[in-house]
Amino acid sequence: MGMIDGLPPLREVIRAHDLVAKKQLGQNFLLDLNLTAKIARQAGDLSACDVLEVGPGPGGLTRGLLAEGARRVLAVEKDARCLPALEEVAKAYPGRLQVINGDALEVDVLAHLTPPVRVVANLPYNVGTELLIRWLTPDRWPPFWESLTLMFQKEVAERIVAKPRSDHYGRLALFVQWRAEAKIVMHLPPEAFTPAPKVHSSVVHITRLAEPRYPADGAVLQRITAMAFNQRRKMLRSSLKGLGPDIEERLVAAGIAPTARAEEISLEGFCALARLIAG
Ligand code: SAM
């Protein structure tokens, strides 16, 4: 029996339901329930929260979330083969687990969630990045979630938390850090997963800010950082030339040296420039 919930160990669950991992669904499962409980704890106090879990698979992380006291878990899984295993988890935690069979990029989850909501997921990396971007660009701010606790390829995690003047610093860091606080809270070696992926992974915990860190128009900020980092080795006066003939004066007005390169500029600097471009 599983130590934390009386359900069978995940290896047995996977065998019993013949859940051979599918590469095209990015299936690398976590089988150690101590580890999944530890990941669940990184999300903070779950007892008063609904948790949205994307891609529960055989339910390792789901069991961690429930064992750690989540009020309710809404789990969205694309692979119908996982449903019977998840059904067993739902039975062990009556009324606390709802499973939706569908694509997380398409399902309307809001109808099924009661605030406050925390999002926790070990997702395929491509889906994870796409959802992160969506979760950070809702129609209105603050968004439906209080925090996002997500597994990423280590390199992507480093891009999310990167600070200026580092190799990983770029659009993703600026995009996330503008409206949220992001921290790497765990590193996991490939062997933590079955099958083991080629890369190392990290869990990133992201909490939303009530307001953007510095005022700016989101679309303008996106446009400027895209231009600046698409030619990250060039001086800004040249990479941002397309913004108008007076770009040098605007850079100076924003407190940025026109000869500086994108990776030297802080979020505050980019926001100051965005305000001058918008105005
Ligand atoms: N959370 C489980 C764990 O930690 O063991 C499984 C992790 S596995 C890396 C990713 C899971 O996401 C798989 O179960 C896969 O079927 C599911 N998945 C992939 N794409 C999805 C999508 N677009 N929507 C919902 N689930 C998806």
Q: What is the largest CA-CA distance in the chain?
A: 70
Q: Which of 79, 150, 191, 202 to mutate to test the pocket of ligand 1 (most atoms within 8 A of CB)?
A: 79
Within its chain, how far is the Cα of 213 from the centroid? 19
The whole-number pLDDT of residue 111 equals 95
List all residues whose CB is within 6 A of at least one atom of ligand 1.
25-30, 54-57, 60-61, 76-79, 82, 103-105, 122-124, 127
Q: Which of 13, 20, 25, 151 to mutate to test the pocket of ligand 1 (most atoms within 8 A of CB)?
A: 25
**Binding site for S-adenosyl-L-methionine: which residues?**
28, 30, 55, 77, 103, 122
pLDDT classification of 1: cutoffs 50, 70, 90: very low
Concatenating the DSSP letter of every residue in 195-257 gives S--SS-EEEEEEEE-SS-SS---HHHHHHHHHHHHHTTTSBHHHHTGGG-TTHHHHHHHTT--
Place of tokens 């878990």: 73
What pLDDT digit, counting tens, does each position of 237-265 carry? 999 999 999 999 999 999 999 999 999 99
Report the percent of the chain where pLDDT is more than 70. Answer: 98
Please tell me the distance between residue 27's alpha carbon and the centre of ligand 1 in angstroms. Answer: 6
Provide mean pLDDT across the span 66-84. 98
Is pLDDT of 223 > 60?
yes
What the block records as the tokens of 35 is: 């580890």
What pLDDT digit, counting tens, does each position of 112-147 carry? 999 999 999 999 888 999 999 999 998 889 999 999
What the block records as the tokens of 128 is: 């994870």
Cβ proximity of 97 and 90 under 8 Å: yes
Q: Which of 78, 135, 191 to mutate to test the pocket of ligand 1 (most atoms within 8 A of CB)?
A: 78
What the block records as the tokens of 184 is: 């790497």
Direct distance between the N- and C-terminal alpha carbons of the chain, in angstroms, rounded to an integer: 63
Task: Point out the ligand 1 atom lying closest to the alpha carbon of residue 57.
Answer: 14
Provide mean pLDDT across the span 263-273. 98
What is the enclosing helix (H) or strand (E) of 157?
Answer: helix 154-161
The whole-number pLDDT of residue 4 equals 73
Distances (CA, A) of 145 to 31, 77, 115: 27, 19, 8
pTM of the model: 0.95
Please tell me the distance between residue 45's alpha carbon and the centre of ligand 1 in angstroms. Answer: 24
**214 in helix, strand or coil?**
coil
Please tell me the distance between residue 137's alpha carbon and the centre of ligand 1 in angstroms. Answer: 22
Is pLDDT of 86 > 60?
yes
The whole-number pLDDT of residue 279 equals 56
For all residues of the chain together, what is the average pLDDT?
95
What pLDDT digit, counting tens, does each position of 177-196 carry? 999 999 999 999 999 999 99
The whole-number pLDDT of residue 140 equals 86
Please tell me the distance between residue 252's alpha carbon and the centre of ligand 1 in angstroms. Answer: 47
The whole-number pLDDT of residue 126 equals 85
Cβ proximity of 150 and 204 under 8 Å: yes
Is pLDDT of 3 > 70?
no
**217 in helix, strand or coil?**
coil
